[in-house]
Amino acid sequence: MLYTILQITLLCVSLSMLGLIYRVIKGPTTPDRVVALDAIGINLIAIVALVSMVLDTFAFLEVILLLGILAFLGTVAFSKFLEKGEIIERDRDH
Amino acid sequence: MIIGGFLSLVTAFGLLRLPDVYTRNHAASKSATLGVMSILLATFLYFYLEHGHFNSRLILAIIFIFVTAPVAGHLISRAAYNSGVKLWDKSVRDDLKDKEEYERQNSST
Protein backbone atom coordinates (compact mmCIF):
# COMPACT_ATOMS: atom_id res chain seq x y z
CA MET A 1 0.00 0.00 0.00
CA LEU A 2 2.65 2.46 1.06
CA TYR A 3 4.87 1.27 -1.75
CA THR A 4 2.15 1.97 -4.29
CA ILE A 5 1.60 5.46 -2.90
CA LEU A 6 5.33 6.07 -3.03
CA GLN A 7 5.49 5.04 -6.66
CA ILE A 8 2.51 7.20 -7.62
CA THR A 9 4.08 10.19 -5.89
CA LEU A 10 7.41 9.57 -7.57
CA LEU A 11 5.61 9.46 -10.90
CA CYS A 12 3.90 12.79 -10.17
CA VAL A 13 7.15 14.46 -9.17
CA SER A 14 8.92 13.11 -12.24
CA LEU A 15 6.18 14.41 -14.51
CA SER A 16 6.46 17.78 -12.83
CA MET A 17 10.22 17.77 -13.40
CA LEU A 18 9.62 17.02 -17.06
CA GLY A 19 7.36 20.07 -17.29
CA LEU A 20 9.96 22.20 -15.55
CA ILE A 21 12.68 20.99 -17.91
CA TYR A 22 10.46 21.96 -20.82
CA ARG A 23 10.21 25.44 -19.30
CA VAL A 24 13.99 25.60 -18.86
CA ILE A 25 14.56 24.71 -22.50
CA LYS A 26 11.85 26.86 -24.04
CA GLY A 27 11.45 29.71 -21.53
CA PRO A 28 11.52 33.01 -23.39
CA THR A 29 13.45 35.02 -20.79
CA THR A 30 16.30 34.29 -18.41
CA PRO A 31 14.30 34.76 -15.16
CA ASP A 32 11.92 32.10 -16.45
CA ARG A 33 14.74 29.63 -16.66
CA VAL A 34 16.03 30.58 -13.22
CA VAL A 35 12.58 30.12 -11.69
CA ALA A 36 12.25 26.73 -13.34
CA LEU A 37 15.71 25.68 -12.18
CA ASP A 38 14.87 26.70 -8.63
CA ALA A 39 11.71 24.65 -8.76
CA ILE A 40 13.70 21.72 -10.20
CA GLY A 41 16.04 21.91 -7.21
CA ILE A 42 13.10 21.88 -4.84
CA ASN A 43 11.56 18.93 -6.68
CA LEU A 44 14.88 17.14 -6.46
CA ILE A 45 14.62 17.44 -2.68
CA ALA A 46 11.25 15.73 -2.86
CA ILE A 47 12.67 12.97 -5.03
CA VAL A 48 15.55 12.36 -2.62
CA ALA A 49 13.10 12.15 0.28
CA LEU A 50 10.89 9.69 -1.58
CA VAL A 51 13.82 7.53 -2.67
CA SER A 52 15.12 7.42 0.89
CA MET A 53 11.70 6.12 1.90
CA VAL A 54 11.76 3.54 -0.90
CA LEU A 55 15.23 2.33 0.05
CA ASP A 56 14.35 2.57 3.76
CA THR A 57 17.56 4.24 4.84
CA PHE A 58 18.50 7.33 6.83
CA ALA A 59 21.64 7.97 4.86
CA PHE A 60 20.26 10.43 2.35
CA LEU A 61 18.63 12.86 4.72
CA GLU A 62 21.62 15.17 4.87
CA VAL A 63 21.41 15.48 1.11
CA ILE A 64 17.96 17.06 1.48
CA LEU A 65 19.20 19.90 3.64
CA LEU A 66 22.26 20.36 1.44
CA LEU A 67 20.17 20.57 -1.73
CA GLY A 68 17.87 23.11 -0.12
CA ILE A 69 20.78 25.34 0.80
CA LEU A 70 22.41 24.99 -2.61
CA ALA A 71 19.20 25.76 -4.51
CA PHE A 72 18.66 28.88 -2.43
CA LEU A 73 22.25 30.07 -2.90
CA GLY A 74 22.13 29.49 -6.64
CA THR A 75 18.89 31.40 -7.00
CA VAL A 76 20.16 34.34 -4.97
CA ALA A 77 23.38 34.46 -6.98
CA PHE A 78 21.52 34.38 -10.28
CA SER A 79 19.09 37.08 -9.28
CA LYS A 80 21.92 39.34 -8.16
CA PHE A 81 23.63 38.72 -11.45
CA LEU A 82 20.47 39.58 -13.40
CA GLU A 83 19.87 42.70 -11.40
CA LYS A 84 23.31 44.24 -11.07
CA GLY A 85 25.47 42.49 -13.62
CA GLU A 86 27.86 41.11 -11.04
CA ILE A 87 27.49 38.77 -8.11
CA ILE A 88 29.98 40.05 -5.55
CA GLU A 89 30.29 43.77 -5.93
CA ARG A 90 33.09 45.96 -4.68
CA ASP A 91 32.01 48.74 -2.41
CA ARG A 92 35.05 50.96 -2.59
CA ASP A 93 36.74 51.66 -5.85
CA HIS A 94 39.65 53.74 -4.60
CA MET B 1 2.49 12.62 0.46
CA ILE B 2 -0.23 12.39 -2.17
CA ILE B 3 -0.88 16.07 -1.54
CA GLY B 4 2.80 16.78 -2.13
CA GLY B 5 2.88 14.92 -5.41
CA PHE B 6 -0.33 16.56 -6.55
CA LEU B 7 0.97 20.00 -5.65
CA SER B 8 4.19 19.51 -7.53
CA LEU B 9 2.14 18.41 -10.54
CA VAL B 10 0.12 21.60 -10.16
CA THR B 11 3.42 23.49 -10.15
CA ALA B 12 4.49 22.03 -13.44
CA PHE B 13 1.10 22.69 -14.99
CA GLY B 14 1.20 26.27 -13.81
CA LEU B 15 4.67 26.74 -15.19
CA LEU B 16 3.55 25.42 -18.54
CA ARG B 17 0.32 27.36 -18.80
CA LEU B 18 0.71 30.78 -17.23
CA PRO B 19 1.43 33.69 -19.53
CA ASP B 20 4.39 35.64 -18.07
CA VAL B 21 7.30 35.42 -15.68
CA TYR B 22 5.54 36.80 -12.64
CA THR B 23 2.54 34.49 -12.66
CA ARG B 24 4.83 31.53 -13.33
CA ASN B 25 6.97 32.59 -10.40
CA HIS B 26 3.84 32.76 -8.28
CA ALA B 27 2.94 29.18 -9.19
CA ALA B 28 6.45 27.86 -8.74
CA SER B 29 7.31 29.41 -5.43
CA LYS B 30 4.07 28.69 -3.57
CA SER B 31 2.84 25.31 -4.66
CA ALA B 32 6.31 23.76 -4.99
CA THR B 33 7.19 24.92 -1.49
CA LEU B 34 4.04 23.54 0.08
CA GLY B 35 4.32 20.29 -1.88
CA VAL B 36 7.90 19.64 -0.85
CA MET B 37 7.14 20.57 2.74
CA SER B 38 4.34 18.02 2.88
CA ILE B 39 6.54 15.36 1.28
CA LEU B 40 9.29 16.03 3.81
CA LEU B 41 6.76 15.91 6.64
CA ALA B 42 5.60 12.53 5.34
CA THR B 43 9.19 11.30 5.28
CA PHE B 44 9.76 12.50 8.81
CA LEU B 45 6.60 10.79 10.05
CA TYR B 46 7.53 7.59 8.20
CA PHE B 47 10.93 7.32 9.83
CA TYR B 48 9.59 8.35 13.20
CA LEU B 49 6.70 5.90 13.24
CA GLU B 50 8.31 2.95 11.48
CA HIS B 51 11.76 3.09 13.01
CA GLY B 52 11.44 5.31 16.06
CA HIS B 53 14.18 7.42 14.56
CA PHE B 54 13.75 11.11 15.32
CA ASN B 55 15.46 12.90 12.50
CA SER B 56 16.04 16.55 13.32
CA ARG B 57 17.62 17.28 9.96
CA LEU B 58 14.28 16.81 8.21
CA ILE B 59 12.61 19.32 10.50
CA LEU B 60 15.48 21.70 9.86
CA ALA B 61 15.06 21.18 6.12
CA ILE B 62 11.31 21.88 6.36
CA ILE B 63 11.93 25.12 8.24
CA PHE B 64 14.71 26.10 5.87
CA ILE B 65 12.60 25.56 2.75
CA PHE B 66 9.69 27.39 4.34
CA VAL B 67 11.92 30.39 5.01
CA THR B 68 14.03 30.52 1.86
CA ALA B 69 11.77 29.57 -1.05
CA PRO B 70 9.56 32.69 -0.85
CA VAL B 71 12.67 34.83 -0.49
CA ALA B 72 14.14 33.26 -3.61
CA GLY B 73 10.89 33.84 -5.46
CA HIS B 74 10.85 37.48 -4.42
CA LEU B 75 14.46 38.01 -5.49
CA ILE B 76 13.91 36.46 -8.89
CA SER B 77 10.74 38.44 -9.46
CA ARG B 78 12.43 41.70 -8.54
CA ALA B 79 15.43 40.91 -10.72
CA ALA B 80 13.09 40.17 -13.60
CA TYR B 81 11.31 43.47 -13.15
CA ASN B 82 14.48 45.49 -12.87
CA SER B 83 16.06 43.86 -15.88
CA GLY B 84 13.12 44.98 -17.94
CA VAL B 85 11.01 41.91 -18.57
CA LYS B 86 7.61 42.92 -19.88
CA LEU B 87 4.45 42.13 -17.99
CA TRP B 88 1.63 40.16 -19.52
CA ASP B 89 -0.06 42.36 -22.10
CA LYS B 90 -3.43 41.99 -20.38
CA SER B 91 -2.15 43.36 -17.08
CA VAL B 92 -4.16 46.30 -15.83
CA ARG B 93 -1.91 48.29 -13.59
CA ASP B 94 1.80 48.65 -13.08
CA ASP B 95 2.56 50.62 -9.97
CA LEU B 96 6.31 50.65 -10.40
CA LYS B 97 6.29 51.97 -13.95
CA ASP B 98 6.44 55.65 -13.07
CA LYS B 99 8.69 55.27 -10.08
CA GLU B 100 11.33 57.60 -11.48
CA GLU B 101 8.74 60.30 -12.12
CA TYR B 102 7.50 59.91 -8.58
CA GLU B 103 10.97 60.26 -7.14
CA ARG B 104 11.62 63.34 -9.24
CA GLN B 105 8.47 64.99 -7.94
CA ASN B 106 9.39 64.18 -4.37
CA SER B 107 12.87 65.57 -4.70
CA SER B 108 11.64 68.80 -6.31
CA THR B 109 9.13 69.59 -3.56
ipTM of the complex as predicted: 0.78
CB atoms B25 and A35 under 8 Å: yes
Identify the residue with better confidence: B47 or A90. B47
Residue A47, chain B, CB below 8 Å: the answer is no
Query: Backbone phi, then psi, for B97, in 5-degree steps?
Result: -65, -40
Q: For an interface test with B, which of A1, A16, A25, A87 has the most B Cβ atoms less than 10 Å from its Cβ?
A: A16
Identify the residue with better confidence: B77 or B11. B77
Identify the residue with better confidence: A66 or B108. A66
The answer to whether residue A89 scores a pLDDT higher than 60 is: yes
Identify the residue with better confidence: A21 or B89. A21
A92 min Cα distance to partner chain B (Å): 24
Average pLDDT on B55-78 reads 84
3 state SS for B26-76: HHHHHHHHHHHHHHHHHHHHHHHHHHCCCCHHHHHHHHHHHHHHHHHHHHH
pLDDT given at position A62: 85
The answer to whether residue B77 scores a pLDDT higher than 60 is: yes
pTM above 0.80, yes or no: no
The answer to whether residue A60 scores a pLDDT higher than 80 is: yes
Identify the residue with better confidence: A72 or B11. A72
Out of B13, B25, B36, the one facing A19 most closely (by C-beta) is B13
B13 min Cα distance to partner chain A (Å): 7
Asked whether A49 and B40 are in contact (CB, 8 A), the reply is yes
